Amino acid sequence: MTATKGLEGIVAASSSISSIIDGVLTYRGIDIDELAEKASFEEVAYLLWHGKLPTRLELKGLQEQLDQYAVLPEPVIAGLKLYPSGTHPMAALRTAASSLALYDEEAQDMSREANVRKAIKLQAQLPTIVAAFARIRQGQEPIAPKKGVSVAHNFLYMLTGEEPAAVAVEALDKALVLHADHELNASTFAARVTVATLSDIYSGVTSAIGALKGPLHGGANEAVMVMLDEIGSLADVESYIQAKLDKKDKVMGFGHRVYKNGDPRAKHLQRMSRQLGELNKDMSLYEMSVKIEEMVTGQKGLKPNVDFYSASCYTMLGIPRDLFTPIFAMSRVSGWTAHILEQLADNRLIRPRAEYVGPVNQRYVPIAERG
Ligand SMILES: CC(=O)SCCNC(=O)CCNC(=O)[C@H](O)C(C)(C)COP(=O)(O)OP(=O)(O)OC[C@H]1O[C@@H](n2cnc3c(N)ncnc32)[C@H](O)[C@@H]1OP(=O)(O)O
Ligand SMILES: O=C([O-])CC(=O)C(=O)O
């Protein structure tokens, strides 16, 4: 038995949710380029869960369910108020998402019908948690969700208490579409491993949030912004990035386990970053990002991934950098839950083997003889 480090190239599940074939990403067979231009996030979530685009009536039904479920149980809000100051929003989201199960009477109901309902509940509630926590940590009261508006609109409204600009809603909606699913990435795998023991959907999503938090995965979008803030200006990009490349340090937001010729989502976010810069009449973050890309791609051949240009986009939308990964989670929960439903529909425990590389033929030495 020989281990493959990081399971690179190992096919660990069959799935009909999203595919990456020859560098092309599809959700249920539809090219992400088309979905990014034409679909709303709610349509995409429905597509991921049900394998087909919704009719007008089905979309209306989903909107009504999202409206109904977006309100958090009072004890979950009370819990958010107890977290210590300085708690990272991803840690808060992980804990609060887990606590949702305590107040859902059907948390342990493993029927498909109940699990689809819980997928919609989680989709509705995660944005409310992120926005509520963002306000609570600043000493503000959370804002109740609005009915009849999109996830993107509602999130920006709950964050600021103001009606968001149409252009901001459109940009966030597209970002949510682009982040919704991505085959067997680390957090989705974590979700599938968890529910494959027949644990509940809340446990699966809690595992996934924990896996997304790390900077090699979803946490990279925040790390990109930390880097842009550290650099500070276009004039300082060259020396900063060159020093990183010379030391063989990783430049966050570049490289990918699967895409070697570029992440198809990055171009949409790059375009969005340029457009938001033009709109804000401040091209500095966009220009810094482009310069970083020129250097990293030029010298290392590494291309930007989904986390690179999303950082400048979210900042130009006025979103604090430690909310970037929670925003990723509030989109990806659609994909996680679609994968959980798929796993449970044809379940088998996920339990690979390890290649043992430790000592052999050792004996127990009584404690008195151990020196
Ligand atoms: C939503 C997402 O999860 S997208 C990914 C988000 N993560 C990041 O942006 C973090 C930065 N990128 C990385 O750490 C990696 O590219 C990962 C984690 C995405 C992929 O990792 P792996 O497939 O294991 O690639 P691995 O780390 O083995 O890299 C291969 C080589 O490219 C180098 N490399 C990979 N990414 C980078 C990077 N961002 N900056 C500099 N060098 C890099 C590695 O150092 C390694 O070099 P070596 O062969 O000389 O040792
Ligand atoms: O697929 C991966 O390994 C990471 C990624 O891009 C994602 O989860 O969107």
- Report ipTM for this prediction: 0.99
Say if residues 295 and 240 touch (Cβ distance below 8 Å): no
Alpha helices by DSSP H, listed for 196-323, are 201-212, 220-231, 237-246, 266-280, 284-300, 306-316
Span from the CA of 297 to the centroid of ligand 2 (angstroms) = 19
Same domain (yes/no): 327, 308: no
Question: DSSP 3-state assignment of 20?
Answer: strand
CB-ligand 2 contact for 180 (6 Å cutoff): no
Mean pLDDT of 72-90: 98
CB-ligand 2 contact for 257 (6 Å cutoff): yes
User: For position 253, which CATH number holds?
Assistant: 1.10.230.10
Among positive and negative, which fits the CA dihedral 97, 103, 106, 108? Answer: positive
Say if residues 80 and 87 touch (Cβ distance below 8 Å): no
Say if residues 219 and 306 touch (Cβ distance below 8 Å): no
Span from the CA of 1 to the centroid of ligand 1 (angstroms) = 26
Mean pLDDT of 147-158: 98
Tokens of 336: 């996680």
pLDDT given for residue 111 in this prediction: 97
Closest atom of ligand 2 relative to the 186 alpha carbon: 3
Note if 268 is an active site residue: no
Res 301 pLDDT > 90: yes
Q: Is residue 370 one of the residues assigned to a domain? A: no
Q: How far apart are CA 325 and CA 14, in angstroms?
A: 27
pLDDT given for residue 1 in this prediction: 86
Containing structural domain, residue 262:
220-316
pLDDT given for residue 137 in this prediction: 98
Q: 100-109: per-residue pLDDT in tens?
A: 999 999 999 9
Mean pLDDT of 349-369: 97
Mean pLDDT of 197-219: 98
Q: Is residue 3 one of the residues assigned to a domain? A: no
Same domain (yes/no): 239, 278: yes
Q: 272-287: per-residue pLDDT in tens?
A: 999 999 999 999 999 9
Span from the CA of 254 to the centroid of ligand 1 (angstroms) = 7
To 10 degrees, what angle do helices 237-246 and 220-231 make? 120
Mean pLDDT of 37-65: 98
Structural domains counted in the chain: 2
User: For position 78, which CATH number holds?
Assistant: 1.10.580.10
- pTM of this structure: 0.98
Question: Residue of the nearest CA to atom 29 in ligand 1?
Answer: 255
Q: Is residue 73 one of the residues assigned to a domain? A: yes
Please provide the average confidence, as pLDDT, over all residues in the chain: 98
pLDDT given for residue 70 in this prediction: 98
User: With pLDDT > 90 as the criterion, what percentage of the chain qualifies?
Assistant: 99
CB-ligand 2 contact for 269 (6 Å cutoff): no
Q: Is residue 208 one of the residues assigned to a domain? A: yes
Q: Is residue 367 one of the residues assigned to a domain? A: no
Q: Is residue 57 one of the residues assigned to a domain? A: yes
Span from the CA of 28 to the centroid of ligand 1 (angstroms) = 27
* Ligand minimally distant from the alpha carbon of residue 187: 2
Say if residues 33 and 174 touch (Cβ distance below 8 Å): no
Question: Residue of the nearest CA to atom 30 in ligand 1?
Answer: 255
User: Which residue among the candidates 217, 256, 268, 339 is catalytic per the annotation?
Assistant: 256
Residue 295, C-beta contacts closer than 8 angstroms, at least 6 positions apart:
237, 238, 241, 242, 245
Note if 88 is an active site residue: no
